[in-house]
Homo-oligomer: A and B are copies of this chain.
Amino acid sequence: MDKIMLAHGGGGQKTTDLIRNKIQKYFNDPELSQMDDAAVLDKLVFTTDSFVVEPLFFPGGDIGELAVSGTVNDIAVMGARPLYLSVGFIIEEGFEINNFETILESMKRAAETSPVRIVTGDTKVVDRGKCDGIYINTSGIGEIAFTPPPGVERIQPGDMVLINGPIGLHAISVLTARKEFGLDTEVLSDVAPLWSLIEQLNDFAVKFMRDPTRGGIAQVLNEIAGDRDFGVEIWEDSLPITQEVVGVCEILGFDILHLANEGKVIVVAAEKDAEKILEIMENDPLGKGAKIIGKVTEKNKGMVTLKTTALSERIVLPPTGELIPRIC
C-alpha cells in the first residue's frame, strides 16, 4: 500500500485497512478506535462526513440534501437527537452561483425537516480543475436520547434485523445520472434525514442501528458480526428490493448487498419488539417497504450469511474494491 486507491474511499475492506493500519497508527483516541460513525462524548455525539458525490445533482436529490442527511443520520443511529451542524464548502473557481444556491436551498430544507440547526461554516475556493464543482463537509453534534443508548455490545443471538425499505436506490440513482452505462431507468435516490423515524423507536428494545451507506448492508452486517460471538443471517426472500435495482444489478453484475443507501437504517432489536418496530416503520413515510430481513444467530459466529432457499445459503462478504466511486 504505497499510493491511495479509489477503493480506499469505498467504505469496504480497503477503507477499513487504511483507517486501521495508517490513520489509527497516529490517531489512537479510544473513541476513534471504536470505528463507529460518530464519537460518544459523555451525553454528546460528534460526527463528520465529507461529500464528493458525482454528479452533484441526481434523481431524487443533490449533494446538499446528501450532506445534511448523511450527518444527521450518523447522529441519529447512535440514538441521539441531532442538534447542530457545521458546513464546510470547498468550491471550484467558476462554479455557477445558481447551482450553489440550489444546493444551499436543499441543505436548508433538509436541515428544517431533520430538524437540526446549521450554526457555523467555512468557505474555501480552489482553482479551476482542483475540485469537481463543490465538495461539502458537514460535522454534527447530537445528544443521546435513547436509554439505554444502542451499542453493538448489546446484541444477542435471537435479536432480529430490520431495514426501513428497499435497498440500493441511492447508488443506482447516482449511477444512472452518470449516463455511463446507457441505463434508462429512473430510480430515485432514497436520500433523507431519518431522525423523525428513528425517534419513534426509543421506547423499544433497540440494540443497534447503523445507516448502510458506502459498502451497503453487506458492510454494516459484517461490522456487526465481525470477530463476535454470534452470526447474522439474512433471508433473500425478505429483502426489500425493487425490480429496477435488481435489473441494473443483473446487467452490470453488482451485488445489491454492496450498494449504498442514504435514507436507510438497519435496526437490530429484541425479538419481542421486532413486529412493533416494523409497524412503526410501515406507518411512516420514511419506512415504506420496511422488512424484518434476518436475525442474530448462535451459529456461524463472526459471519454474515444469506439464506437463498430453505436449504441453501451463502456467505456475505464486505466489498473489497470500489464498485461505484464518488457515491456520496
Contacts and interface: CB of A to CB of B under 8 A. Distances in A.
B27 A121 contact: yes
A315 interface: no
A175 to B, nearest CB: 15
A49 interface: yes
A161 interface: no
A123 B23 contact: yes
A176 B108 CA distance: 41
Given A5-B125, A105-B26, A120-B38, A52 B90 contact: yes
Contact of A88 (B22, B41, B49): B49
A320 interface: no
B39 A104 contact: no
Interface in A2-29: 2-10, 15, 18-19, 22-23, 25-27, 29
B126 A52 contact: yes
B41 A100 contact: no
Contacts of A29: 117-119
B125 A9 contact: yes
Contacts of A32: 118-121
